[in-house]
Each structure stands twice: as C-alpha cells, then as structure tokens.
Amino acid sequence: MKFDSETSVVLVSFLTSFFAVFLAAGIVIGVPSIASEFGMNNVVQNWIITISLLVVAIFTLPAGQLSGKFGVKKSLIIGVLIFILGSIGACLAFSAESFLFFRVIQGIGGAFSNVASMAMVVQAIRPQNRGQALGLTVTGVYLAGSLSPVICGFLVYNFGWRAMFYFTLPFFFICIALMILKIEGEWKTYENDKIDSLGYLIYGIGILLFIYGFTSLMTTMGKICVAIGFILLIVFAYYETRVNTPAFNMRLFKNAKFASSNVAALCSYLAVASLTTILNYHFQYVRGWNAQMAGLILIVTPIIMAFMAPNSGKLSDRIHPQKLAAIGMSIATVALFILIFLDANTPIWLIVVAMVLQGIGMGLFTSPNTNAIMSSVPPKETPNASAAQSAMRTIGQTMSLGLLTLVFAWIMGSLKLSSQYAGMVVQASQIVCIICTIICIIAIFASLVGVKSKDEFNTKQAN
C-alpha cells in the first residue's frame, strides 16, 4: 500500500480515535478500583466517566471554530498533547478531587482531537472515498471499544488502574510524530474570522449547568440548573444567528438532513452509551465477576461494531446513508428491549445475543450517520459539521451517563456500589434500559427525516 498523504491522514485519525476511545471505554473496567482507592460513593463514582465527556461537550464547539481558524493539523497536535498531560496527571493523582481535575484536562484535549481529526479526514480525502475513510476512522473507535475491556481488564487486574493510562502514552507520541513528519500542509477555513468568545461563554455555561442539573434532577438546585442551562442554550442559538463569525453556524440546521442526522446521533448515543457501564456493573456487582472476567465478555459489542463500521461506511458511499442508519437503529432498539429484563437470572447467552444485536445496529448506524452529517454541508463548513457531530456524540454520551447517575441515585441514594446491593443495581439498570429503548425509537424516526428530498449526499449512487 502506498503511504501517501491521504493514507497518513486516515492512519493518524484512526490512531487518535482508537486510543482516545480506548481509554474512555477501558476506564469503565477500572471504575470500581479507582472508586475504592479514593473512597467514592456511587454518585461520585459515576462522575469518573461523566466529567470527561461533559468537558468534551463544553469544548467541542469552540474546537470547531478554533481548528478552522488556526488549522486542523495544529489543533490535533495540541489536542493530543493536552490529552497526554491529563493522562500523566491522572496517574499521579493523590485524591478524588485531583483525579477528577486531570480527567477535565483529558476532556479538553479530547474535544480538540475529536473535532480536528474528523475535519482533517473530510478536507484531505476525496469525496468519492470519504465514506470509506470515515468508516475506517469509526472503526478505530469500535476496535478500541472491543480491545479495551480485555486489555484494560488484564491491566487493572494485574497491575492496577494506572496501567491503563500509561499504556496509551507511547501511541499518542507516535501520532504526534506522524503528524509532524508525514502530513504536509494545513487546512484552514475560518482563518479571517473573529473568535466568538461570548458565544463560547454562553454555550459553555449553558451546557455545564444543563448536564450537571440533569444528573441531580431530584434536587431543587438540579431543577434550577437545568432550567437556567436550557435558557442559556436557547440564548446561544439565537445569538449565533446574529453574529458575523459565530462559534457555531446555527444556520446549518436549516438543512433538514443535517439537522435530523444530528438529532438521530444525539438520541442514539443517549440511548446506548450507558449500556457498557450497566453491563459492567451487572457482571461485577450482580454476578460477582472480577474486572478481567467482565472485560472478556464486554468485547462482544464493540468487536462487532469494528467489523461493521468500515463496511457500512463504504456502503454509505453508494446507498442513501439515512436508510442504513435507520435500519441500524431499529436493530439496536431490539437489543435494548431485551436488556430491559436483565437480572441475576438472565442467561448469559441472552445477554450475548443483546450485545451482538447492539453491535450490529450501532455498527450499521454510526458510519452512515456520520457520512450524512459531514456530506450535507459545503466543504467550508466541515469543521462546524465535525464539531456538531462530535457535540451530539459527547452530549448524548454525557446525558446517558447522567441519566444513569440520576436513576442510581434515586434508587440507591448515596450508598456505595457493591454486591451487597445487587437488587438495587438490577432495579436501577432496568429503569435506565426502559427509558433508553424509548429514546432509541425516536432515533429511528429522526434518521429518516428528509430521506426523500432531492438534496444529494456525496455518494457514487443515490438509491
């Protein structure tokens, strides 16, 4: 294979996506060990995962404009360096507060690397190959998800949770070296635009209050935070339509395909992001398995996603991506419905069937949905489109884990998660799965909005 510029771009995007997700997915396995070391209750414990996703959600839109202004390659290098700093800091953490602080640093780096890597693929790869390239990038995400439970389970069980962070560092340095040595040039689309600092501030505070309030919705303060956050997000949307160089071009949502595909992405991640945590809790707290055992079975869903993603991405270059996305979400809905009945007596084979269906469904959904979002805007707007799809993913994931935190707090209060409260873990998990099944059904219909319109995607053949 010729190692040309396009190949280098895809490889870097694959590696950055792989190892960012590898740690994000693998940390689920290490959560019980981290929580035990720092004495966290079930609410704080869930924030180990949630806080990094929340920060990614806050910084994703600014990352879109900044990467377009200063260059996507430069933004990607800086994002990876910040992520490395956060990873090293997490390893050196001495308390729950210091650990969560460095998870915030990781989130900032993750926001810039997520947006810049996707934008670089779209701008550097020819349109007729874009779906396949995006599929390979998404494959990095799913392959990381498939390998991380096994590898991280092994590392946590044998060397402690810090080994997960140290394991990723050499690969991030390799990514930086490849970007500096192998990828020439730079891509800038908003070079002459002013930075929308006020827009960033309104959005950041709004999404922070909304997500934080959502996780504590049972309290008066939680309800107030959700209300204020929601109002600020509406103000942000209005303000962005009134400025010449917005942090995010809200006018893109006038495109029905762009808007509906983003809504479908938000709903899909909201519906499925907490499932790995639910299954991990089920295996470790309900069935009493260790981290290594739990990791071995948790590979089922992501390894199927890793197989499906490049094929569905390539297929979306030829077949209408919205149709493929809707089929995928329908299959994922069946998986969620099965997990509604998850308890201590559920046969392992039935759990595996649900995980297989989830893998097929999300593998068939994600690449076509990403292609639908990225191909429905002019080339100049690819950083904004990348920021939008990244924001939908991270906001959906954060809200999904926030929903998990909310339901577990409602059922368990401030109790620490343990096998002693297995019945409560089952009850809370079932409630989350019921809610997520309903959200998944909404995603199916959102995927099909505008499917018969005359707007064309960058596909070789419209069907």
* Mean pLDDT over the full length of the chain: 80
Distance CA 293, CA 274 (A): 19
- Cα of first residue to Cα of last residue in the chain, in angstroms, is 32
Dihedral in degrees, nearest 10, Cα atoms 167, 171, 173, 178: 180
Q: Which residue has the tokens 């103000």?
A: 235
Element holding 162 (H helix, E strand): helix 162-182
Q: Provide mean pLDDT across the span 59-80.
A: 80
DSSP for residue 195: P
Taking only the tens place, the pLDDT of each residue in 142-156 is 677 667 777 888 888
Are 71 and 189 in contact by the 8 Å Cβ rule? The answer is: no
Tokens found for residue 305: 């996603």
Q: Which residue has the tokens 């740690």?
A: 23
Are 367 and 131 in contact by the 8 Å Cβ rule? The answer is: yes
Q: Which residue has the tokens 């792989």?
A: 18
Nearest to residue 321, comparing CAs of 453, 140, 451, 138? 451
Q: Which residue has the tokens 């290098």?
A: 77
Distance CA 130, CA 370 (A): 10
Confidence of residue 85 (pLDDT cuts 50, 70, 90): very high
Distance CA 77, CA 68 (A): 14
Written as one letter, the residue type at 217 is: L
Q: Give the number of residues written for the chain.
A: 463
Q: Which residue has the tokens 């030829």?
A: 318
Q: Which residue has the tokens 């809504």?
A: 263
Taking only the tens place, the pLDDT of each residue in 306-321 is 777 667 766 666 667 7
Distance CA 29, CA 148 (A): 9
Q: Provide mean pLDDT across the span 428-439.
A: 92
Task: Establish how many alpha carbons lie within 13 A of residue 117's alpha carbon, considering only the half-sphere containing its beta carbon.
Answer: 33
3-state secondary structure of 4: coil
Least confident of 35-49, 123-137, 313-327, 448-462: 448-462
**Global pTM exceeds 0.75:** no
Taking only the tens place, the pLDDT of each residue in 263-312 is 888 888 888 888 888 888 888 888 888 777 877 787 788 778 777 766 77
- Work out the angle between the directed axes of helices 162-182 and 5-38 (0-180°, nearest 10): 160
Neighbour tally for 216: CB within 10 Å: 18
Q: Which residue has the tokens 């071995």?
A: 296
